[in-house]
């Protein structure tokens, strides 16, 4: 029997409204809980960085306190995210919040040695991959159709807003008392756990004990479903390419501002403007594009916006003032946010349910690694060449990369077939032996079936 395209697929009708999205009670709980956790996380980053610096007066150790939060993703993000597939998503999110709350309370103990602070902050951030993976996999169970795309856009935008608010608030509170900022973060995790526990109904795990194999094998299946499925691979390439250049102005902001301010504005003001420009543009782009354009128009805009994003940064070759750089970075963020939610929605619909958390782990880890490498490589190049030249040429290369990625984008029929195949896999019963084998969905069907040639942005 031929599989049909699922009802959840974005329709060609007008865009879903924010009211429709927030009318879903469980999504409201997840959205507010996520916003609280994110704000608390960024407050804690600012506080821990200052706390370590106050103890050691070492810039290197202070930077290490900031960077340690990225290590879980780099060292084992996909494996940690795969854990979320084994348990009920609500249970994973609540447990991770409670663990992080307890560890933040320990970090807030006065006069705790900085070595213990670094160890505890690392332990706390180990809960990030499974928590975020569970949330990413849960949202498509709460929202369908265009409400899913708008919900993903809202979720991405609040993450960017939390970064700006958290850093500003965290720096202000930490300057008075870092321990207070850490207690605030612990409270946000506690509230988040309570909201999810009371606001989200229990759903069984997508992988029961009989389906489990080895954790590393399950992780490998996550890589396989993303990179061996043409449509998912195409979306992954688009997302990774966007992250490769959009982060660069933010990463080089400090050196750029001190090198280019020329007294028009203070170096501190220039640095702040460049660093917050991309998140602000991302917030506006995600909200406006999702709200003003219907699903069909957003699908048409996705690839042009992907090429436009790096193109907007090419004019920095002309060495404009820092505030112009900030404007260009904001426009780049706007374009990236305009195309990501639609790509996100397609990725979710072309992805079998049993692989959602693992695929998110693969994508989130890839984004973290690519952003870090982009800043590292451009930083090294900027040691030998002027920053505007480095960023301008890097962005020009991004235009070429995005053009190639969009030209190789699967045709509409291929995407339709991929969504239909995922829908059929979701409806198929588990295999008789209850195991999930490599390259199969639920141990019963080929994930590439019906693909011909056939993604997930980080939600």
pLDDT in tens, 36-87: 988 888 788 778 877 887 788 776 677 677 667 777 777 777 788 777 778 8
Per-residue pLDDT reduced to its tens digit, 355-398: 877 888 788 888 878 877 887 788 888 878 888 998 999 999 99
30 contact partners, CB below 8 Å, separation of at least 6: 135, 138, 139, 142, 195, 196, 199, 200
Residue 307, pLDDT > 80, answer yes
Residue 13, pLDDT > 80, answer no
8 Å CB contact between 174 and 50: yes
> 109: alpha, beta or left, given left = phi > 0 and alpha = psi -120 to 50?
beta
Burial 255-290 (b: 16+ CB within 10 A, else e): ebbebbbeeebebeebbbbbbbbbbbbbbbbbbebb
pTM: 0.66
d(CA 41, CA 184): 10
d(CA 179, CA 184): 9
pLDDT > 90: what percent of the chain? 19
Per-residue pLDDT reduced to its tens digit, 175-229: 778 888 889 999 999 999 999 999 999 988 776 655 666 667 777 877 888 888 8
Q: Which residue is it, tokens 């990030």?
A: 128
Give one DSSP letter per residue of 208-263, joined into a string.
Answer: -GGG---HHHHHHHHHHHHHSSHHHHHHHHHHHHHHHHHTHHHHTHHHHHHHH-TT
Predicted confidence at residue 434, as pLDDT, reads: 36
Residue range 402-419: mean pLDDT, rounded: 85
Q: Which residue has the higher pLDDT, 435 or 51?
A: 51
Q: Which residue is it, tokens 């003003």?
A: 292
Residue 459, pLDDT > 50, answer no
Residue 261, pLDDT > 60, answer no
Q: State the virtual CA torsion across 120, 122, 123, 129 in degrees, nearest 10.
A: 150
Q: What confidence category does residue 149 fall into, taking pLDDT thresholds of 50, 70 and 90?
A: confident
Phi/psi for 263 (5° steps) reads 80, -5
């Amino acid at each position: 029997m031929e599989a049909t395209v699922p009802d959840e697929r974005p329709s060609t009708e007008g865009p879903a409204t924010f009211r429709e999205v927030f009318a879903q009670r469980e999504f409201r709980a997840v959205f507010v809980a996520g916003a609280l956790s994110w704000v608390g996380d960024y407050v804690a980053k600012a506080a821990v960085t200052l706390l370590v610096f106050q103890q050691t007066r070492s810039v290197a150790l202070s930077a290490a306190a900031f960077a340690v939060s990225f290590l879980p993703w780099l060292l084992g993000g996909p494996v940690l995210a795969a854990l979320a597939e084994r348990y009920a998503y609500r249970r994973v999110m609540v447990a991770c919040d409670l663990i992080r709350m307890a560890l933040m309370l320990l970090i807030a103990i006065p006069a705790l040695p900085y070595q213990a602070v670094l160890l505890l902050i690392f332990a706390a951030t180990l809960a990030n991959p499974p928590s975020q993976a569970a949330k990413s996999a849960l949202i498509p169970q709460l929202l369908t159709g265009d409400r899913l795309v708008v919900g993903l856009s809202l979720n991405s935008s609040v993450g960017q807003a939390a970064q700006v608010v958290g850093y500003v608030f965290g720096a202000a509170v930490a300057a008075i008392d870092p321990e207070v900022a850490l207690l605030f973060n612990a409270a946000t995790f506690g509230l988040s756990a309570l909201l999810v526990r009371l606001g989200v109904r229990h759903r069984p795990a997508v992988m029961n004990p009989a389906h489990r194999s080895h954790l590393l094998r399950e992780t490998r299946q996550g890589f396989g479903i993303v990179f061996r499925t043409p449509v998912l691979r195409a979306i992954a390439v688009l997302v990774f390419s966007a992250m490769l250049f959009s982060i660069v102005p933010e990463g080089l902001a400090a050196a750029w501002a001190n090198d280019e301010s020329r007294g028009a504005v203070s170096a501190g003001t220039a640095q702040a403007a460049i660093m917050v420009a991309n998140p602000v543009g991302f917030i506006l782009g995600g909200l406006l594009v999702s709200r003003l354009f219907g699903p069909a128009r957003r699908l048409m805009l996705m690839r042009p916006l992907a090429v436009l994003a790096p193109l907007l940064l090419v004019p920095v070759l002309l060495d404009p003032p820092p505030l112009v750089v900030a404007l260009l970075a904001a426009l780049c963020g706007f374009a990236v946010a305009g195309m990501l939610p639609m790509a996100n929605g397609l990725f979710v619909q072309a992805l079998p349910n049993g692989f959602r958390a693992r695929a998110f782990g693969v994508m989130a880890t890839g984004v973290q690694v690519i952003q870090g490498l982009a800043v590292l490589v451009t930083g090294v190049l900027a040691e030998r060449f002027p920053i505007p030249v480095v960023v301008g040429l890097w962005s020009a290369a991004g235009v070429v990369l995005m053009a190639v990625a969009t030209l190789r984008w699967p045709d509409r029929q291929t995407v339709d077939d991929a969504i239909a195949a995922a829908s059929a896999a979701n409806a198929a019963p588990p295999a008789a032996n209850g195991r999930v084998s490599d390259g199969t969905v639920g141990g019963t069907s080929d994930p590439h079936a019906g693909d011909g040639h056939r993604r997930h942005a980080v939600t």
